[in-house]
Structure 1
Amino acid sequence: MLSDNWEVYISKIDDIPTVIRINMDAKKTGFPERFPECMILTLTVLEQVENGFPSPQELTRLQEVEQAVSDVIGEEGILPVSLTSQDGTRDLIMFTNQPSFLSTRISNRLEKLEMTAEMYQLGSPSNSDDAWAWYDFVYPTERILTYIKGRNLVAHREKSGDVLEIPRPIDYFAYFETKEDAASFALVVEADGFTIISEDKVGEPEGKDNYLVSIQRVDMPTYDVMSDIDYMLYDVVSFYQGRYDGWGANVIQDDSAQ
């Protein structure tokens, strides 16, 4: 059974903005060996809003179809990825060891939902030696994983009662292989309003995390603010061959609400 470790993010596939919902653990639990064949169910978005994504009512319908398909898959496979693109489609990427049998079962269920042939396509991708390459293709990059980690941290703070709109000192951390790269990074971010807290040698010469740079700036730890900062720092750190290690700050709660 799949874990409950799902993430949602927006990326571009063939230059088309796409909302990707993916199970982060699907490839870690032996599923590629158990379910080696890939199948893709493409659903047509019948009612779109201005940006090409489904309307709220249509999204509900698509989610109901996805749930029905998930129920059908059962022991014959798993459904670890769904994609909703701006061009009016929703792809459900599933894996199985019985593609013909599963195809028949899914088609029968869709017919019971009164879905016509114009409303969906079901098939297997061609010209792929590794069916799970489709999963790898939409798995978050390191840059997007940094965004997801930061977003989840903001969500955790929000649940704990943090008043995110209150500015406070926020500490950021990055590791570098060489002292020169660490110093160059420090100069760049200092010009962007960050204070350099420390530049410490922490690793061995043969390692990559040899120098830790800690920086600080007063910001609001809201979703939008932290997403922009995470992306920016990831890009700058990567330019200097480093590893961005995220951020931390004090939780500030609203005393009047207690």
Structure 2
Amino acid sequence: MSDEWQTYGCQIDGQMAFVTYDHGVSTELDSLSFENLAVFSIEIADPDSRGMPAGEEANRLNALEDFLDELLQPDRALIVGRITCNGVRTLYSYTLLGSAECHEIAGAIELQSGRAVTLRHCPDLTRAGYWQELFPSDDDLQVIKDMRMHEMLMERGDPLTEPRPIRHWAYFKTADSRRAFLDDVAQHLRGLNDDAYETDDGQFAAMLEHVGLPDWQSMNAFTMKLNGLATKAGGEYDGWETELKGPQAHS
């Protein structure tokens, strides 16, 4: 288990979901001797209207994950991620243990917690459980970046409730591809002002600005569209920045 865990929000079967996965282990998966995927799904007690844990339930679920880690044992298994969706916390692990042993562990968690626990156990030499169910898509990676900005602003005391100018950058190899990008942006997104210039290293840059809220949910509608349009035009969307609001803005 590495220290490089990431979280992003997404939709699974039309339901809000949060995925947390070990990004650091992505370079080590192929060398692991753990051949089996064991996925433990634990019922959330009294989930909120979104199917998410409420109040102290998040701490109780974290304690159950620690208990699972103890039962699996680090030399026999590795937990690589979790999905929280529709009233269920699903924990993903790779392990040397067989199906019977993992069913015993699921039973121990049920006994400890009084919750329903289901198990999915199968060989997974290609690590499909990690790459296809946990690892983020390009859009999910953009959510991660937006959530990082959201968290950074909040850590500095910004309540994220005041609209303000937000600037975006994208870079292209040719002026024509930049022009195609800006034309697409004008068709798909309203309220964006743009500026075009050439960088010192010969790239063709586009800076766009809109006024809005910088929380990740509000931003993501813009950033995923800009990321997709920049990629379509052969360029790269490079993210956004904004000014800090709140008590620490002038400190």
Same fold (TM over 0.5): yes
Partner of 1:241, secondary structure, is coil
Residue aligning to 1:136 = 131
In structure 2, distance between residues paired with 1:63 and 1:255: 32
Match of 1:199 in 2: 197
Matched, 1:153 2:152: no
State the one-letter code of the partner of 1:19. F
Aligned pairs for 1:199-238 (under 5 A) are 199-200=197-198, 210-238=203-231
Letter of the 2:70 counterpart: D
Stretch deviating more after TM superposition (164-173 or 247-256): 247-256
List per-residue Cα deviations over 1:4-51 (Å, max 9, x = no partner): 332322323345543322122122245752433211112234544444
Identity of aligned residues (%): 21
**Paired letter, 1:93:** Y
* Residue type at the aligned position of 1:240: A
- Which runs of no fewer than 5 residues in structure 2 stay unpaired? none
**Residues 182 and 199, structure 1, Cα contact 8 Å, conserved in 2:** no
The answer to whether 1:24 aligns with 2:23 is yes
CA distance in 1, matches of 2:90, 2:129: 12
Separation in structure 2 between the aligned mates of residue 183 and residue 168 of structure 1, nearest angstrom = 26
The one of 209, 233, 241 equivalent to 1:248 is 241
For 1:47 and 1:158, the matched residues in 2 are separated by 28
Q: What amino acid maps onto 2:117 in structure 1?
A: Y
Q: Is the 8 A contact 2:36 2:125 kept in 1?
A: no
**Which residue of structure 1 aligns with residue 34 of structure 2?**
35
| Candidates 121, 126, 130, aligned match of 1:124 | 121
2:37 aligned counterpart, secondary structure: strand
Compute the displacement of 1:56 (Å). Answer: 4.2
The residue that corresponds to 2:95 in the other structure is: 96
Cα deviation, 1:215-244, whole Å, max 9, x if unaligned, reads 233444333332332223223323323321
Q: Aligned AA for 1:24?
A: H
| Change in 2 beyond 3 A, CA 1:136/1:253 | same
Using the TM superposition, name which of 248-257 and 26-35 deviates more. 248-257
- For the residue of structure 1 that corresponds to 2:27, the secondary structure is coil
How many angstroms apart in 1 are the aligned matches of 2:85 and 2:244? 37
SS in 2 for 1:244: strand
Which amino acid in the other structure matches residue 173 of structure 1? W
Could you tell me which amino acid in structure 2 is paired with residue 182 of structure 1? R
> What SS does the aligned partner of 1:193 have?
coil
State the Cα distance separating 1:82 from its structure 2 match. Answer: 1.2
Contact 1:36/1:97, CA 8 A, preserved across alignment: yes
Indicate how the Cα distance of structure 1 residues 115 and 32 shifts in structure 2: closer, same or farther if over 3 A, else same: farther
1:121–1:158 CA distance, 2 compared to 1 (3 A): closer
Aligned partners of 2:212, 2:106: CA distance in 1, in Å?
52
Distance 2:249 2:59 in 1: 38
Instruction: Give how far 1:254 is off.
Output: 3.0
- Give the secondary-structure state (helix, strand or coil) at the position aligned to 2:167: strand
How far apart in 2 are the matches of 1:120 and 1:155? 32
Q: Find the counterpart in structure 1 of residue 232 from structure 2.
A: 239
User: Paired residue for 1:79?
Assistant: 79
Aligned partners of 1:22 and 1:81 also within 8 Å: yes
C-alpha spacing 1:77/1:194, structure 2 compared with 1 (3 Å): same
The aligned amino acid for 1:79 is: I
- Secondary structure of 1:148's counterpart equals helix
Q: Greater shift after overlay, 192-201 or 62-71?
A: 192-201
- The root-mean-square deviation of aligned C-alpha atoms, in Å, is 3.3
Q: State the one-letter code of the partner of 1:122.
A: L
